Structures are given as C-alpha cells and as structure tokens.
Amino acid sequence: MKLTNLTTGLLSILLLGFIGCDLGEDDPIETPPTEEGVLVINEFLASNDAGHSDEEGGFDDWVELYNGTSEAIDIGGMYFTDDPEDTEPNLIPMTNSDLTTIAAGGYLILWCDKEPEQGILHINTKLSSGGESVVLIDSDGLTVIDTYTFDAQEADVSIGRTPDGGETWTAFSTPTPGASNN
Ligand SMILES: [Ca+2]
Ligand SMILES: [Ca+2]
C-alpha cells in the first residue's frame, strides 16, 4: 500500500513536471538574442558618381565598417582588399589610432580611391562597379573578419546590411556612409 502511494506520488510529480514543460514551450515570451556583436563590413558604394565625397572632394568608392561590439576597436594593423585571393592586401596604417579607432556601436569609412597620399583611411584599391569583393582581414594577415562578394553595381546605389551588422544585404538608393543603415 505504501509502495502504491509512493508510486502514485512519483507519477503525479512526473505528470506535473511534464505539464509544466508543456506550458513552458507555449510561453510567448521570446528569448532575447545573446549573440555578441561583431566588427563587420556594413555598407559599401562601388560606383560613386555624385554621392558623398571625401575630404578632397573626390567622389570615390567607399566601404563603411560598423563596430557592433561593446568595445572600441582600432583597425590600424588590419588589412583591406577587393580580392579574396590577394596575397598582398592593403595594410591599414597604425600611425594614428585616433583616426582608425571605431567606437562601440560606431562607424568608419574607408575610401577606396587609390590615393593613399590623402590619408591613412584611403586604401590603394578601387572597387569595380562590375562586381568583385570587399574583404577585411585581421592584423594576423590571415583571419578574414568579414567579406562580401557583389555583382554589377548601379551608380550611387550602395549595398548594406539591415539592420546594422545584420545578416540581410539590401540596396540603398540613399546611402548612409558613417551612419546607421536603418
Ligand atoms: Ca580621394
Ligand atoms: Ca551606413
């Protein structure tokens, strides 16, 4: 008799537990995202006819980086290239961390104008409007931080992630260099 009561009790506990789990699965509250932000290529313009110009007034190609992490990141010492097979990617100089540091949640523009004499954020590479890649490589020269390969581009229409740092790439007829893509 005692054993039967014990068994019934255990079954009740198991059944309650089961019902509890079932209710839990139906809970409409979604788990908040836990994935930490990362440093990404967030937007780029490979055909700049009359969009945003650089300090010298040049309508040059540009790449926007976005720091989705909670810490400032200095990209000095990292590399950028338009070719994933490039054995000599462009070194981003380490000579002025004020210019190369991206605040947490901040943006930075690299000008792809083949005019490195215009400053350390001017890469010795232009982007092909016919399509190629944008590749950001870590300071070890090997680890690809982010890369994206694109097809032929329309003039003054940028391609970027939505939301900032997100998985989806969208064409923007109103580019937002240095600001949120939203
Ligand atoms: Ca320029
Ligand atoms: Ca933007």
Q: Residue 62: nearest ligand to its CA?
A: 1
**143 pLDDT band (50/70/90 cuts)?**
very high
pLDDT for residue 64: 98
pLDDT band at 17 (very low <50, low <70, confident <90, very high): very low
Task: State pLDDT tens for residues 152-178.
Answer: 999 999 999 999 999 999 999 999 999
Whether 60 and 48 have beta carbons less than 8 Å apart is answered as yes
Q: What is the CA(159)–ligand 1 centre distance, in A?
A: 20
- Measure 177 CA to ligand 2 centroid, in angstroms: 5
> Distance, CA 54 to ligand 1 centroid (Å)?
6
CA distances from 29 to 16, 24, 42 (A): 21, 10, 30
Which residue pairs from 119-126 have beta carbons closer than 8 angstroms and sit at least 24 positions apart in sequence?
Answer: 119/55, 120/76, 120/92, 120/93, 120/95, 120/96, 121/92, 122/54, 123/63, 123/80, 123/90, 123/92, 124/90, 125/80, 125/81, 125/82, 125/90, 126/60, 126/61, 126/82
pLDDT in tens, 35-83: 568 999 999 999 999 999 999 999 999 999 999 999 999 999 999 999 9
Q: How far is the CA of 146 from the centre of ligand 2 (A)?
A: 16
- Mean pLDDT of the region 72-97: 97
Query: Which of the ligands is closest to the CA of residue 64?
Result: 2
Q: Distance, CA 148 to ligand 1 centroid (Å)?
A: 23
pLDDT at position 2 is 53
